Amino acid sequence: MNKNKFVFGKENFIILAISIAIIIFGFWLMSGAKTTEETGFDPRIFDTRRIVISPIITMIGFALVAVAILWKPKNQENKTLKS
């Protein structure tokens, strides 16, 4: 077994990077104005963007992480069959 060979291929790392960017974007959409004693109640905490859209985007990102982990590149399938 070759020790210099990675378990994941280039495609896996690309999908993983995209999914992490989507997760960060989802959490960024969740952020915003806060309700404190000084500022009073801010109804924007119940905005559709914060309680519907951003969790969906974040969950899509987490699902893509699973896809990135389970993805098996086509060229790697051929190498394992020949070995």
Domain ranges of the chain: 10-82
- DSSP secondary-structure letter at 72? -
**What is the Cα–Cα distance from 16 to 83, expressed in whole angstroms?**
27
pTM of the model: 0.77
Cα distances from 81 to residues 31, 35, 70, 75, 78, in angstroms, run 48, 59, 18, 10, 5
* pLDDT score, position 25: 97
* pLDDT score, position 81: 54
pLDDT tens-place string over residues 12-69: 999 999 999 999 999 999 998 777 778 788 788 888 999 999 999 999 999 999 999 9
76 pLDDT band, cuts 50/70/90, is low
Burial of 47 from C-beta contacts in 10 A (0-12 / 13-18 / 19+): middle
* pLDDT score, position 72: 85
* Dihedral over Cα of 48, 50, 52, 58: its sign: positive
